[in-house]
Copies of this chain bind each other. A is one copy, B any other.
Amino acid sequence: MLERLQKNGVYKAIFERRDVREFNSKPLPEEKLKSILLAGHHAPSVGFMQPWDFILIESQEVKDSLAKACQKEILALAIHYEDEKKTKFLSLKLEGLKEAPVTICVTCDPTRGGGHVLGRNSIPETDILSVACCIQNMWLAAYAEGVAMGWVSFYKKTDVREILHIPPHIEPVALISLGFTDNYPQAPILEKENWEKRVQINNLIHYDNWNSSKHNLFK
Contact = CB atoms under 8 A, between A and B. Distances in A.
B201 A123 contact: no
A175 to B, nearest CB: 11
Given A196-B113, A205-B37, A210 B14 contact: no
A149 to B, nearest CB: 10
A154 B196 contact: no
A166 B208 CA distance: 11
A9 B6 CA distance: 4
Interface in A71-92: 73, 77, 80-81, 89, 92
A201 B41 CA distance: 7
B15 A13 contact: no
Give the oligomeric copy count. 2
A205 B122 contact: no
Given A119-B154, A209-B62, A9 B2 contact: yes
B211 A165 contact: yes
Interface residues of A, number: 105
Nearest to A56: B207
A119 B46 CA distance: 26
Given A34-B217, A80-B116, A210-B167, A122 B73 contact: yes
Contact of A196 (B43, B47, B190, B207): B47
Contacts of A119: 153-154
Given A34-B218, A43-B136, A204-B41, A153 B10 contact: no
A15 B2 contact: no
